[in-house]
Amino acid sequence: MFESSNFEKILFSSPSISPLKILRTHGYRNKEVIKKKILNAANKAIERLTSSSAPVGYFSIEEISNQIGSKIELKCGTSLNCEIFNERLAQSKFLVAFIITLGKEVDEKIKKISYYSDEPLGALFLENASWLALELVLRDARSKIIKFAKNHDMQIENRMAPGYSYPSKIYKKRIMWELEEQKILFGLFDNENMSIRLTESCTMLPRMSRSGIFGLKKIV
* DSSP annotation of 152: T
Q: Which domains does the chain show, CATH number per domain?
A: 7-218 (3.40.109.40)
Q: What is the pLDDT of residues 161-190, one digit of tens each?
A: 999 999 999 999 999 999 999 999 999 998
Q: What is the pLDDT of residues 29-38, one digit of tens each?
A: 877 888 999 9
* Cα separations in angstroms, 125 against 17, 18, 93, 114: 12, 12, 41, 11
Residues 6 or more apart whose CB falls under 8 angstroms from that of 75 comprise 62, 63, 64, 65
Residue 203 contacts residue 179 (beta carbons within 8 Å):
no
What count of other Cβ atoms lies within 10 Å of the Cβ of residue 133? 23
Task: Tell if the pTM clears 0.85, that is, is over it.
Answer: yes
Q: What is the pLDDT of residues 58-116, one digit of tens each?
A: 999 999 999 998 999 999 999 999 999 999 999 999 999 999 999 999 999 999 998 88
Burial of 51 (0-12, 13-18, 19+ CB in 10 A): exposed
The Cα–Cα gap between 182 and 185 comes to 5
Query: Containing H/E element for 94?
Result: strand 92-101
